[in-house]
Amino acid sequence: MPFPKLLFVLLLVSSHLTALATAPAPRPLPITRIDPTFWWVGMKNPQLQLLVHGPGIASSQVQLATYEGVTLDGFQKLESPNYLLVNLTISPTARPGKLKLEFKGAKKATYEYELRQRTTPGDKTKVQGISSADFIYLLMPDRFANGDPSNDVVKGNRAPGLARDSMYARHGGDLRGIEQHFDYLKDLGVTAIWPTPVVDNNMPRTGYHGYALTDYYQVDPHYGTNEDYVRFVQRAHQQGLKVIHDVVLNHIGSYHYLWLDQPAKDWFHQWPQFTRGNYRNGTVNDPHGAAQDRTLFSTTWFDTTMPDLAQENPLVATYLIQNFLWWVEYTGLDGYRVDTYTYSDPGFLMQWGQAILAEYPQLGMFGETWMQETEGVAQQAFWTRNVFPPVGGFKSNLPGAIDFILRQALLESLTKPTGYAEGVAKLYYAVQGDWMYEDASRNVIFLDNHDVDRVFSVLGEDVRKQKMALAWLLTERGIPQLYYGTEVLMKNFSRPDGLLREDFPGGWATDPKNAFTAAGRTPAQQDMHAYVRKLANYRKTHPVLQTGQLTHFIPEDGVYTYFRHDAQGRAVLVMLNCNATAKTVSLQRFAERLQGYTSAQDVLTDAVVPNLQTANVPAYTALVWELR
């Protein structure tokens, strides 16, 4: 009869469902991640080292399925049972595809590892480099503009939400917000964007600044995805803007998976208790220095939440080098700014720089070589390509430095009286020290940044002095860098409340004022913005201010005069009056540079200067004349 048959079927199905419900859940694959996440064929260095992570993965044996042009050179266990290193050689004959890696033993898994086709060679829109022809705009993505509110709150993040009333919390800025203001940056005369680090900083506090990274291979989800960042670089290039990627070699954040589950103790500098460094980079090359002082600089932690990497370990060195090759090839970015450059192991720095530039010789690179005024030009030059012999086996191959010495000299020129070696004379001597660099034009010059007091506040909110400083920035040798908001008179100090990192007004839909538009600026902001815009765009179209030779004259009576000139006969005169009173300066003293020129045009006012006999310079003013 039909009814009993149906009942039997129902009982059978019910029994099967019960069995499914009580069956153990399928065991997860033992591999949680592999770094680098993928790689490319055709790299100049054929060696690739994969860091495999997963619970108990070290008990596995590794095999590589046959793949033409790729060989397995072996695998290596580390101190932790949760890591395995896999070494591969990728020959020039290898083609893009997926390698099949088999992990056999107590832990079994098959992993398809992707090899991609390189895109940077021959593509002139990628890895364009950074040079003295550029004008860099430094911004903090979290504090510039919020273009995508959907990523304001990130589920599972240790600091998931926003608090714009706190200077130590996330505010919501992102990559989309920067991109929405490309036109603003281009109109200002900017040619390169330097965001502070965009990689993941999943930290409970102050993760917004980016310098305590928690994943080398992921963009911070508050800013967007990896794919968003690739598109960001592409769209910047389409708009004629370059992108500088801010990198941290020295340390990671204390919530990075490599610290939470350490591959081995010798991947980090371990101390019985937190030991902060002495911040004295001079200990590295001090011929009379104590070994203890050198150790307390190079192997201590930069801060309580920043474990210090043991880069003298060749496995750590390889891991870092591969990551920073990966970001260039993956995105096509144009330059690297290297955070806390001097704190890294000197031998590693040479190895890292050589490896990056061997693969991408056109890549722009400059490092944070934070120097106090008393340390001097020589100490700063030591950390870049210079004329000195090696010291202790170290010879820097870093193309350029962030020129803290020149900045401090410029600020002294505007805040202290002139003496034989004081005031504006300090600026003269700082520039005179350029002989120690291989090429000082590769240095990045600046007035302020995310770590130091805003220049408008340092100068007592004196608009005249800020304009003077900006005129110097955009006419001096080197690569000029502007900190976001300086063009609209943003102010404040780093201590006690970090207000130098306030949001750009207008970057959020609810902001009462929008300084991205002329209508949203006060008259004073508009005046300063117009000043920067005019001089930056003049520099952009006049190569003499980018690559021209610099000739300067010893300051007299608080006035510093220099010329930028080239073989084509183009020349610009710059005169800085660092006095509280106007000065009339005879130009006869500068006859060697004025020969052949009879008149000039004021770059800032467009006024014609009919003869070159004298210059009348108001107090705290810079003259910028194009010689005719």
For the annotated catalytic residues, the residue numbers are 339, 368
Tokens coding 408: 């401090």
Which residue, chain included where needed, has tokens 């306030």? 502
Tokens coding 403: 């020129």
**Contact, 133 vs 546, CB < 8 A?**
yes
**SS3 state at 435:** helix
**Contact, 597 vs 573, CB < 8 A?**
no
**Cis amide bond preceding 543, omega within 30:** no
Which residue, chain included where needed, has tokens 């990045």? 444
Tokens coding 592: 């060697």
**SS3 state at 244:** strand
Torsion of CA 77, 78, 81, 82, to 10 degrees: -100
Which residue, chain included where needed, has tokens 């003869």? 611
Beta-strand pair 109-117/136-139: unpaired
As a whole number of angstroms, the distance between CA 410 and CA 430 comes to: 9
**SS3 state at 389:** coil
As a whole number of angstroms, the distance between CA 60 and CA 58 comes to: 5
As a whole number of angstroms, the distance between CA 471 and CA 562 comes to: 12
As a whole number of angstroms, the distance between CA 47 and CA 501 comes to: 42
Beta-strand pair 39-41/571-577: unpaired
Q: Which of 400, 318, 371, 442 is nearest to 50 (CA)?
A: 318
Measured CA to CA in angstroms, residue 230 lies from 279, 330, 331 at distances of: 35, 7, 5
Q: Please, is 464 exposed, middle or buried when counting C-beta atoms within 10 Å of its C-beta (0-12, 13-18, 19+)?
A: middle
**SS3 state at 103:** strand
Tokens coding 291: 């070994």
Measured CA to CA in angstroms, residue 243 lies from 138, 176, 309, 347, 501 at distances of: 10, 14, 26, 28, 21
- List phi, psi (to 5°) of 603: -65, -30
Please give the helix or strand (H or E) that residue 549 lies within, else none. Answer: strand 549-556
Considering just the CA atoms, what is the radius of gyration of the chain in Å?
Answer: 28
